[in-house]
Structure 1
Amino acid sequence: IQPAAGDAGGAVGAALAIWHEYHEKPRTPTSGDRMKGSYLGPSFSEAEILEYLNSANIPYQRLADSELMPRLAEILEQGNVVGWFSGRMEFGPRALGSRSIIGDSR
């Protein structure tokens, strides 16, 4: 199932079906995840991220994995909104966790 399997993604599937029919090339499903788990966008190395943060004079704090979620909860509890950035950018109509805007709706 392709990652944009909603109203917008239906057109992608229809276009692919017509392509296979028009070119008389039957679809041959393969095993494995050829879409790389829907993470089709760019990723950035730690060095690239730090270079950008420093060049733009953006303050940041490095945390150990064990400190990340408690600190995130604290920031949200203070009424702040968090932009979450992790790994490659995903494709599709739903946030899969790589690019998210997180807030506390209370």
Structure 2
Amino acid sequence: LPVKRFIAATNVNDTVPRFLHDGQWSPKATQATLSNAMDVSQPNNWPRVEELFRRKIWQLKELGYAAVDDETTQQTMRELKELGYTSEPHAAVAYRALRDQLNP
């Protein structure tokens, strides 16, 4: 399938979105969140993402990014529930990031 965009969606452990915004790699202490599988402030898979972008036609500056806090995660889960979809926190973070990128 064709890929139209990549979005780095995280919770408040936002090392990657901050890096994409200002070019500074500055991990902070990890915070516990509802989307606990994303509770990583220094992602060890980031070099793989950079390598993927080096090998393809995409550039890191084209990568969308978003950091979603717990309050917004819960709000998004409620919104999805009203639409008939029961979401867990990780999917809510991803959905919110996508929605915000599509409708800035």
Q: Structure 1 length normalisation: TM-score? A: 0.27
Largest Rg, 1 or 2: 1
Larger proportion of helix: 2
> Normalized against structure 2, the TM-score is what?
0.27
